[in-house]
Amino acid sequence: MSDLLRLATAGSVDDGKSTLVGRLLYDTKSVLADQIDAVTRASVDKGLATPDLSLLVDGLRAEREQGITIDVAYRYFATPKRSFVLADTPGHVQYTRNTVSGASTAQLVILLVDARKGVIEQTRRHAAVLALLGVPKLVLAVNKIDLVDDAASVFAEISAEFNKLTSTLGWAADDVLEIPVSALHGDNIASRSENTPYYDGPSLIEHLESVPVDADNTGAHSLGLRFPVQYVIRPRTAEYPDYRGYAGQIAAGSVAPGDEIVVLPSGVRTTVERIDTPDGELAVAQAGRSVTLILTDEVDISRGDIIAAVADAPEPIDSFDATVCWLGDKPLRPGARLLLKHGTRTTQAIVGALIERFDEQRLAADPNPEALGLNDIGRISVRVAEPIAADDYRANRHTGSFLLIDPAGGNTLGAGLVGDVLTAVEVGTGV
Amino acid sequence: MTETIRSERSLGITDFDTLAALESEAIHIFREVAGEFERPVILFSGGKDSTVLLHLALKAFWPAPLPFALLHVDTGHNLPEVLEFRDKVVEKYGLRLHVASVEDYLADGRLTERPDGIRNPLQTVPLLDAISENRFDAVFGGGRRDEERSRAKERIFSLRNAFGQWDPKRQRPELWNLYNGRHAPGEHVRVFPLSNWTELDIWRYIARENVELATIYYAHERPVYQRDGMWMTPGVWGGPREGEVLETRSVRYRTVGDGSTTGAIISDAADNEAILAEVAASRLTERGATRGDDRVSEAAMEDRKREGYF
């Protein structure tokens, strides 16, 4: 089991996300005395009777002024069993792009709902986005449970509705857990609460500590080696006059000396001679690790190429369909000329047709939209100047994802997922 | 280089733990920058975070020499041990060092000493000047998101405009491990490979990798006086003032910063193991314990970052 879990929060405004995150930090003793003092002082200044734990996380001036979270923030906490990197994302619709950012690396997402409101449109929108991004595990935190009468039946009702939603979106029942919580009072956060006798599952922290996740966070172990070449290491020093190593982080599979590999897109084949690290050679290296590969033949390889296992190497493509989350303020229209970054390769791209636009409310797509606006999700066709060796996003998050970048301003405009990801979400086989 | 970090330790697939994952992520970030930028530079203060940063950078390009220079913004209020350490590191690894000196700016009138005598905020102008004069397009910093609430919002690749300013409302989304380093001429990108590390991760890594640090991190006896609950060292920055008593105590520093505003803590922790125990048990954050400059206001760090500070 991995001892590092990457997670994110999602939910709509005022569901108490920041309070929940503050509570997680507080209950895992990840908040130190001077931070508590600062929050207590600020709470007193605001005229509050008890310390407002959301102030532990909402640190920007504008956030404190408005009492909302504007930008994704990263928090760190640890228990004796695991370390956690938490992306705390804003709930406002206009900041959905930050939810996408936070969830793109998450192995688990805590979705919050207010027990008084239940599953709302924003919950459905977020669940659809999380399904699309292939987030493996979900927790529904039914917050403010202390504020509803007949909590048992309210919790049962919300759980049932959420389960229906997530199974429609393709999650297995084992990958989804609902927990009734009060972030404000700490019910079912660090320990099981006596106030919820109808709930017999683990507390939130118990669950986070024990939920099984893939260590490499790539979504699948079935793929062979995928190694985007980042940098060619050529010391040209007296000690290493002829050294030529290909540096990168393994995106999928594993590699060992003697493995036969193919360089993409050129298709040249050779063999791995050894795996170098500054700490010594490795007998085998798996996804997630940054290493340097030494190959038996002198072949032409440069940044942007992908070294792949011969057995299941992807076919380089220069024209393909993809799902995109549009993150730009100006809408995406057919014919747009953009930059596309896939792995370590950045190439020019032209958007062909807009095939469909996803309606998160109906969990269905409308064909031939005129444009994709901010936060829209849709399917497009793309042509690239240099072929990319991509996998289907559902097979691997790293080799199946790309960015669309504005060639003029340089901003990131779109998050792309290769393959029929959107169709899969529509028919409920997404995760 | 090779003697110090190449060991016979055999790494199997079983020890891919939190530190190994953080190390791999940081190395990936260094290599992305080397692959995409023209003139990157590493900000090096001689503190533990920038020392770990340098250690990771050396690993990322081993066995090749480091493809970046270092930049130190010298406030003129550094503890002598830190400058000694800086120069020793530069010599040991054959690095190139740029120094931007606040003292020079004060001498010729481009900057004016603040009434409180604190020089940390004065670093911004020499830093931005050094970046534009040398046309640095990527500037690595040892900032960690766990240090402070506004740093928690910082991207790993953080775009700064031609004035070096950070605009937290207009940050680029950062997806998967695809970092976007595009920038216009005159703009630069601050890069934070240690974003996901905590103070404890840093110390665990220092212990595991035997990273050599400036000696002030380890308990030692020195004459100190108390101010605002912190133990300060006398130096060119002045002190002790009237009523502040100089006494010899066993102390160590948790952060390296300006001598006028960074305090030591009373400690007997003289090696990595003892420090790990001390940090794990501490009820104060490193900045809360020993950094006067963060106490100015609720948003002191955000305000400085908006001006171009790290």
Measured from the Cβ of residue A235, the count of other Cβ atoms closer than 10 Å reads 17
Chain A: closest CA distance from residue B241 (Å): 26
The answer to whether residue B1 sits within a structural domain is no
> Cβ separation of B302 and A327 shorter than 8 Å?
no
Residue B187 lies in a domain: yes
In DSSP notation, A17-51 reads: HHHHHHHHHHHTT-S-HHHHHHHHHHHHHTT-SS-
Q: Are residues B74 and B189 in the same domain?
A: yes
Does residue B195 belong to any structural domain of this protein? yes
Mean pLDDT on A33-40: 75
Range of the domain at B285: 214-295
Q: Between chain A and chain B, how many beta carbons pairs sit less than 8 Å apart?
A: 205
Asked if residue B274 and residue B131 are part of one domain, the reply reads no
Average pLDDT, chain A: 89
Average confidence (pLDDT) per 10 residues, chain B, 310 residues: 36 65 96 97 95 98 96 92 96 96 92 84 90 96 85 88 80 91 92 93 95 96 89 87 92 86 91 91 68 54 63
Q: Say how many domains are in chain B.
A: 2
Tokens read off for A394: 């559902």
If asked whether residues B187 and B221 sit together in one domain, one would say: no
Task: Name all domains of chain A by residue range, CATH numbers in brackets.
Answer: 4-210 (3.40.50.300), 226-309 (2.40.30.10), 316-427 (2.40.30.10)
Instruction: Check if the beta carbon of residue A56 is closer than 8 Å to that of residue A31.
Output: yes
In a domain, B239, yes or no: yes
d(CA B268, CA B260): 23
Q: What is the pLDDT of residue B296?
A: 46
The predicted pLDDT at position B308 comes to 63
Residues in B touching A289 (Cβ below 8 Å)? 16, 20, 24
pLDDT of A1 reads 47
Do B178 and B230 have their domain in common?
A: no
B interface test, pick of A43, A132, A290 with most B CB neighbours within 10 Å: A290
Neighbours of B64 (CB within 10 A): 22
What are the structure tokens assigned to B34, written together? 């080397």
| Residue B177 with chain A: CB contacts under 8 Å | 105, 249, 398
Decide if pLDDT at A80 tops 90: no
Instruction: State the smallest CA–CA distance between residue A129 and chain B in angstroms.
Output: 14
Note whether B167 and B280 are same-domain residues.
Answer: no
Chain A (94-113) residues lying within 8 Å, Cβ to Cβ, of chain B: 97-98, 100-101, 104-105
Nearest chain A alpha carbon to B196: A85
- The residue of B1, B153, B189 whose CB has the most chain A CBs within 10 angstroms, and thus the best one to mutate to test that interface, is B153
In a domain, B6, yes or no: no
pLDDT bin (cut points 50, 70, 90) of residue A220 is very low
**Is A405 touching B (CB cutoff 8 A)?**
yes
Closest residue on chain B to A279 (Cα): B6
Q: What CATH number is attached to the domain comprising B166?
A: 3.40.50.620
- What's the mean pLDDT in A71-84? 85
pLDDT of the residue at A93? 57
> Which A residues in the span 15-44 are in contact with B, Cβ-Cβ below 8 Å?
32-35, 38, 42
> For B32, which residue in chain A has the nearest alpha carbon?
A230
Looking up tokens 């909302």 gives A68
User: Are A59 and B175 an interchain contact pair (Cβ–Cβ within 8 Å)?
Assistant: no
Q: Which of B18, B31, B153 sits opposite A247 (nearest CB)?
A: B31
Looking at residue B6, what is its pLDDT? 34
Query: Which of A5, A68, A83, A417 should one mutate to test binding to chain B, selecting the residue with the greatest count of B CBs within 10 A?
Result: A83
- Cβ atoms of A71 and A350 closer than 8 Å: no
User: In Å, what is the CA distance from B224 to each residue of B36, B216, B230, B231, B263?
Assistant: 47, 13, 10, 6, 9
Same domain, B170 and B68: yes
Are residues B249 and B193 both part of a single domain?
no
Q: What is the ipTM of this complex?
A: 0.89
Residues B170 and B267 grouped into a single domain: no
CB contact under 8 A, A4 and B10: no
d(CA B180, CA B189): 10
CA distances A424 to A170, B27, B116, B310, Å, are 8, 35, 62, 44
Residues B147 and B282 in one domain: no
B271 contacts: CB under 8 Å, gap ≥ 6: B218
CB-closest option in A33, A72, A249 to B24:
A249
Q: Tell me the pLDDT band of A369, cut-offs 50, 70 and 90.
A: very high
A399: exposed, middle or buried (Cβ count in 10 Å: 0-12, 13-18, 19+): buried
Which H/E stretch holds residue A74?
A: strand A73-78
CB contact under 8 Å between A231 and B175, yes or no, is: no
Quick one: pLDDT at residue B10?
A: 38
Q: What are the tens digits of pLDDT across the range A248-258? A: 999 999 999 99
**Contact A398/B at CB under 8 A:** yes
* Whether pLDDT at A360 is above 90: no
Statement to judge: residues B163 and B58 lie in one domain: yes
Say if residue B303 is in the same domain as residue B287. no
Cβ separation A57–B152 shorter than 8 A: yes
- What is the reported pLDDT for A2? 60
Do both B133 and B73 map to the same domain?
Answer: yes
Q: How many CB atoms lie within 10 A of CB A285?
A: 28
Q: Which residue of A has its CA nearest to B181?
A: A410
User: From the list A59, A78, A282, which residue is nearest B153 (CB)?
Assistant: A59
Of B175, B198, B284, the CB nearest to A76: B198
CA distance B9 to chain A (A): 7
B8 occurs within a structural domain: no
A281 vs A62, A238, B134, CA distance in Å? 50, 21, 37
Determine contact, residues A122/A91, Cβ cutoff 8 Å.
yes
Structural domain contains residue B206: no
Determine, yes or no, domain membership for B51. Answer: yes
- Chain A residues with CB under 8 Å of B65 CB are 235, 237
* Residue of chain A whose Cα is closest to the Cα of B280: A30
Q: CB contact, 8 Å: A159 with chain B?
A: no
Is residue A110 predicted with pLDDT exceeding 70?
yes
